[in-house]
C-alpha cells in the first residue's frame, strides 16, 4: 500500500503504485514462508520516501520516462535489502509494523532474502540505467552505503562516538541512498548536469536530516506512531546524535547512567531527561541546518509550484512525528 501522504501529489502517487507492483512482481521466491514475509514487507510499503523524492525531482522535466518505474523499484529493493540485514544485526522483531523475517524464520533466511533483494536491485538497475556512467554512479554510491554500514557495525554498542564519526556513519548508511534516489530522478527525467549535481546534494542533505530526526524521535516520538518502543536505541546502547551532544556537556552523571545498560525504566528516564536538556536542542539545530542546505539546493530548479511543493515536503520531514 502506498502511503496516503503521497495522494496530494497525484502524478507521484500513481507512479509509486506502479513501483510497488513492479517490486512485488520481481521479489517472488520459491520458499513459501520467506516469500510471504518479503511480499508482506513490499505490500506494507513503508514511507516510500526515497522513490517518492525521486519522482518529485522528475516532475521538473519528464516524469513519464518508463525507466523511472524500474529505477524506483530498484531504489526500494536496495532499501529493503539493507533493512533485512539491519534486522539481523539489530535482532529486530518488528519492521513496518510486521514481524521481521529474522524473528520468524531465523537469521539465515533473512540474510539470504537480503542478498536476493540486492540481486533484484541490480536487475532493475540494468533496465533503468541509461549509460554505463549511470551504472558507475550507482556502484560508487552503493560503496558509500556499505562503508557506512561497516563503520556503524565496527563500533561496539555502548561506545561513545565523536560527532564526526556519527556524521560519517549516517552519510553512508542513510544519506547516500537518498542522494542516489534524487539523482536518478533528475537524470532519468532529462535534467541538466547542474540540476543532477544539485539533486544529489539535495537528497544527501535530506537524508542527513532524516536520520537525525529519526534518532531524535527515539526520545520525542510516540510509540504508537513510531511502531517501536520509546528509548529503544538508548536501551540497546546505541549512541545517536542527541546522546553524543549531551555527553559533551556531561559532568559524569549521564555517563554513569549509560554504563549501566539496564532495562530499568527509571534509569532510562533519568538518562533521557538529561539528554533532553542539552542533547536534543543541539541535535535539532544540526538537523535544521541540513534541511536548510537541502532547500538551498532546490534553487537550481525552475521556480514555480513544483519547487514550492518539494520545498514544503522537505520542511515537513523536519516536523514529522514518525
Q: pLDDT tens string for the chain (322 positions)? A: 788 889 999 999 999 999 999 999 998 888 888 888 888 888 887 789 999 999 999 999 999 999 999 999 999 999 998 888 888 777 777 887 788 888 888 888 888 888 889 999 999 999 998 887 888 888 898 888 888 778 777 666 656 788 999 999 999 989 999 999 999 999 999 999 999 999 999 999 999 999 999 999 989 877 656 556 678 888 878 889 999 999 999 999 999 998 876 678 888 899 999 999 999 999 999 999 999 999 999 999 999 999 999 999 999 877 776 6
Q: Pick from 137, 49, 159: which is nearest to 151 by CA?
A: 159
Q: What is the pLDDT of residues 237-286, one digit of tens each?
A: 888 999 999 999 999 999 999 887 667 888 889 999 999 999 999 999 99
Domain spans, the chain: 1-128, 130-322
Per-residue pLDDT at 225: 61
CATH of domain 130-322: 1.10.600.10
Sign of dihedral through CA atoms 216, 218, 224, 228? positive
CA distance 208 to 168: 10
CATH of 1-128, one of 2.60.40.10, 1.10.600.10, 1.20.140.10, 3.40.50.300: 1.10.600.10
Q: Do 191 and 199 meet the contact criterion of CB atoms below 8 Å apart?
A: yes
Q: What is the pTM assigned to this prediction?
A: 0.91
Domains 1-128 and 130-322 are alike in CATH topology: yes
Amino acid at each position: 500500500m502506498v502511503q496516503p501522504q503521497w495522494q496530494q501529489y497525484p502524478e507521484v502517487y500513481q507512479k509509486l503504485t506502479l513501483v510497488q507492483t513492479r517490486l512485488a512482481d520481481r521479489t517472488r521466491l520459491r520458499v513459501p514462508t520467506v516469500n510471504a514475509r518479503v511480499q508482506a514487507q513490499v505490500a506494507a510499503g513503508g514511507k516510500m520516501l526515497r522513490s517518492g523524492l525521486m519522482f518529485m525531482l522528475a516532475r521538473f522535466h519528464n516524469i513519464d520516462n518508463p525507466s523511472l518505474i524500474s529505477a524506483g523499484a530498484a531504489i526500494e529493493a536496495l532499501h529493503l535489502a539493507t533493512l533485512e540485514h539491519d534486522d539481523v544485526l539489530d535482532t529486530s522483531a518488528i519492521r513496518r509494523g510486521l514481524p521481521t523475517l529474522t524473528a520468524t524464520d531465523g537469521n539465515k533466511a533473512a540474510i539470504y532474502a537480503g542478498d536476493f533483494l540486492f540481486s533484484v536491485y541490480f536487475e532493475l538497475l540494468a533496465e533503468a540505467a541509461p549509460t554505463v556512467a549511470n551504472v558507475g554512479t550507482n556502484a560508487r554510491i552503493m560503496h558509500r552505503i556499505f562503508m557506512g554500514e561497516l563503520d556503524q557495525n565496527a563500533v561496539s554498542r555502548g561506545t561513545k562516538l565523536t560527532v564526526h564519526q556519527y556524521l560519517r556513519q549516517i552519510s553512508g548508511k542513510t544519506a547516500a541512498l537518498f542522494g542516489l534516489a534524487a539523482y536518478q530522478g533528475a537524470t532519468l527525467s532529462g535534467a541538466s548536469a547542474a540540476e543532477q549535481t544539485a539533486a544529489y546534494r539535495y537528497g544527501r542533505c535530506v537524508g542527513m536530516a532524516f536520520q537525525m530526526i529519526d534518532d531524535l524521535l527515539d526520545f520525542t516520538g510516540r510509540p504508537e506512531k513510531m511502531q517501536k518502543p520509546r528509548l529503544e536505541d538508548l536501551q540497546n546502547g546505541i549512541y545517536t546524535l542527541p546522546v553524543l551532544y549531551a555527553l559533551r556537556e556531561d559532568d559524569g552523571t549521564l555517563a554513569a547512567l549509560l554504563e549501566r545498560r539496564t532495562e530499568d525504566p527509571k534509569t532510562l528516564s533519568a538518562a533521557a531527561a538529561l539528554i533532553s536538556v542539552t542533547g536534543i536542542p543541539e541535535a535539532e539545530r544540526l538537523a535544521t541546518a541540513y534541511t536548510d542546505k537541502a532547500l538551498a539546493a532546490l534553487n537550481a530548479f525552475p521556480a514555480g509550484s513544483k519547487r514550492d511543493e518539494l520545498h514544503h515536503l522537505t520542511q515537513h520531514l523536519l516536523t514529522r512525528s514518525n
